[in-house]
Amino acid sequence: MSIQAPAALFDHDAVRRAVDATLAAYMNDQIRTAHHRGLPREPLHALSEFLGSGGKRIRPVLCVAGWQAGGGIGTPEPVLRAAASLEMFHASVLVHDDIIDASDTRRGHPTVHRQAGTAAAILIGDLALILADDLLHGAGLAPEQLTSVLRVANRLRIDTIYGQYLDLAHSGRPPADVAPAMAIVHHKTAKYTVEGPLLLGAALAGADPAVSGLLHAYGIPIGEAFQLRDDLLGIFGNPHETGKPALDDLREGKATVLMALALQQADPDQLHTLRRYVGDPKLTSAQAEQVRAVLVDTGARTAVENMIEQRRHSALSTLSTADLPAHIITALHSQAFSATARTT
């Protein structure tokens, strides 16, 4: 069964701007309400500033793409608000993640806990999670539509926390085993960042299970590739482009596929370098260069580039035979490249 595509192209930037406007309007409403009720506005201002400080809005964009893939037309207000609620949830995850990782900067700005203190940042993250609910519940969805969307949203959220927990559990002294690193990639990013938002959009449209199946087959490999790219950027990326200090991931000792492969392939000298420096919170730039050299020389960096390529290829083959509106095929095709070949 083929769904007729509307004439319009899928305009990423327009969706991004509409999501930004939706978030800004929602936050202004909350700030006004708090003011009228004599409640503190500081946590709302902090959250508002964080939301406005950038971010690719990849989850809302994919949610709208999922909606249109499922037969939805255009970007009606309830869909935009549901999509924006993913970004609000993401703000909650990032604010708490920065506390967990003791990160000083995010998107080129001091992290929320560095500005407001850890205690306030815990509450600001909690508030963002609750407001993500409020935004979704008040999006104006039909009651039956809301029920099915909530099921998808909760699964996405639970998976995200498991991914974060796995990440934390393996940080500090990353294992040479690829399996735990892949489990993190799968839950923390493939499901959370790509597949989940697409499926949420499809649920909004009440899509056919076949459509959800396609979005899953596309979303998981692209999501994995997205995280594998992120892991490369965290170590080899340009901090001026990523907005993230170049030493954070190495100092933290993140359990990545990149690191697991390097640990497997390292000779004794290289292993010594990795075990000595990775996870050292005082790692210097010069030491980081030594680690980077090992990641390159062991072939780990190339292997991860190949894994990204394979996953993109798998997703693109899914698309090539997919029975989806043409403008969505185009949009997902381009998303496959921007998610996996990016530099920020």
DSSP 101: T
Contact 227, 188 (CB under 8 A): yes
Considering only residues 300 to 319 of the shown chain, the ones binding a second copy according to CB under 8 A are none
Of positions 21, 169, 210, 341, contacts a second copy by CB under 8 A: 169
Of positions 166, 204, 283, 307, contacts a second copy by CB under 8 A: 166
Name residue, tokens 């559990």: 169
- Residue 41 CB, shortest distance to a second copy, in Å, is 10
Burial (CB count within 10 angstroms: exposed 0-12, middle 13-18, buried 19+), residue 297: middle
| Phi-psi map region of 140: left, alpha, beta (phi>0 left; psi -120 to 50 alpha) | left
Considering only residues 122 to 151 of the shown chain, the ones binding a second copy according to CB under 8 A are 122-123, 125-127, 129-131, 133-134, 137-138, 143-144, 146-147, 150-151
Residue 268 interacts with a second copy (CB under 8 A): yes or no: no
Contact 201, 67 (CB under 8 A): yes
Of residues 123 and 303, the one with the C-beta less far from a second copy = 123
Name the phi and psi angles at 105, rounded to 5.
-135, 155
Of residues 187 and 244, the one with the C-beta less far from a second copy = 187
Burial (CB count within 10 angstroms: exposed 0-12, middle 13-18, buried 19+), residue 73: middle
Of residues 98 and 312, the one with the C-beta less far from a second copy = 98
Contact 149, 82 (CB under 8 A): yes
CA dihedral 192, 198, 203, 205 (to 10 degrees): 160
- Residue 137 CB, shortest distance to a second copy, in Å, is 4
Span of 114-122, 234-242, 280-288, 336-344 interacting with a second copy by CB under 8 A: 114-122
- Residue 244 CB, shortest distance to a second copy, in Å, is 19
Residue 165 interacts with a second copy (CB under 8 A): yes or no: yes
Q: Residue 239 and residue 106: Cα distance in Å, rounded?
A: 11
Residue 162 interacts with a second copy (CB under 8 A): yes or no: yes
Of residues 10 and 50, the one with the C-beta less far from a second copy = 50
Reading the block at residue 152, the tokens are 């998808």
Residue 255 interacts with a second copy (CB under 8 A): yes or no: no
Burial (CB count within 10 angstroms: exposed 0-12, middle 13-18, buried 19+), residue 63: buried
- Residue 169 CB, shortest distance to a second copy, in Å, is 7
Of residues 25 and 119, the one with the C-beta less far from a second copy = 119
Q: What angle do CA 115, 121, 127 make, to 5 degrees?
A: 130
- Residue 147 CB, shortest distance to a second copy, in Å, is 5
State which H helix or E strand residue 109 sits in.
Answer: strand 109-110
Of residues 73 and 168, the one with the C-beta less far from a second copy = 168
Residue 164 interacts with a second copy (CB under 8 A): yes or no: yes
Task: Give, in order, the Cα–Cα distances in Å from 111 to each of 20, 50, 131, 223, 232.
Answer: 20, 9, 20, 25, 22
- Residue 200 CB, shortest distance to a second copy, in Å, is 14
Chain residues in the site for a second copy (CB under 8 A): 34, 38-40, 42-43, 92, 96, 99-100, 119-120, 122-123, 125-127, 129-131, 133-134, 137-138, 143-144, 146-147, 150-151, 154, 157-158, 161-162, 164-166, 168-169, 183, 187
